[in-house]
Structure 1
């Protein structure tokens, strides 16, 4: 593994351990040339996925891009980082197990929203605001009102 600090190709593994609920291996590495220390992760990849964007453009699936968007939605939310990693790994496994190599970006967005809705409603609304391209406050209001139980149904009759 190439050292990210000096470019030396002979880094050494100092420690390996399971990560993300045993679906990845975390390796601590050391560069003998510059003394730099860094961490790498090794994950199983079942197939190479291609994302089909709404405009028809195709691009390789990027787990890091998925992770960034989810972490932005979950920013300052009370969720354990390991739980977030498990959630992201679960989404990726689900995408890989669909049996298709080409996946519509809309399908990825729907799976992420479904997952976030179960875990954290604030993150769900944040992600949806970008995914559904909210333009004004009324868009938020309409979306959030759909999440709330109908107040008239909740009132006891009498």
Structure 2
């Protein structure tokens, strides 16, 4: 593939994907998971597990492809190297944030999901509700990071895709 087509492909990955990932993440925090707050853990934790697993299938490759596109643009456009490199890093930050900050709560929700006794105790103690609320605000952080990446990429491209 010639360099011009590679740059176009990289832009198509680096610019719209972060906006799509921001919207995707925002939608789960705004429209889906909050409805689980008052649902017993025996129902809410399997639903959360599905949300988490399906989200990983979209967000992980989307963030990697977008970061790869931005990294290629950092390599191929020396005048904007720092900007595109920053965009590539910001694209990966939600994945790092998930692993470093969010996984403790996510793992706990998944442990509760696999044990009927823990589900009953977690429903009574409202533990699942608190874990879900924490996940929602943390997911807003991820959505915000993707939005920042998208805006920076759009600006780097001169406001066009």
Q: Same fold (TM over 0.5)?
A: no
Instruction: Tell me which protein shows more helix as a share of its residues.
Output: 2
Larger-Rg structure: 1
Instruction: Tell me which protein shows more strand as a share of its residues.
Output: 1
TM-score normalised according to structure 2 size: 0.26
TM-score normalised according to structure 1 size: 0.27
Higher normalized contact order (CA 8 Å, seq sep 6+, divided by chain length)? 2
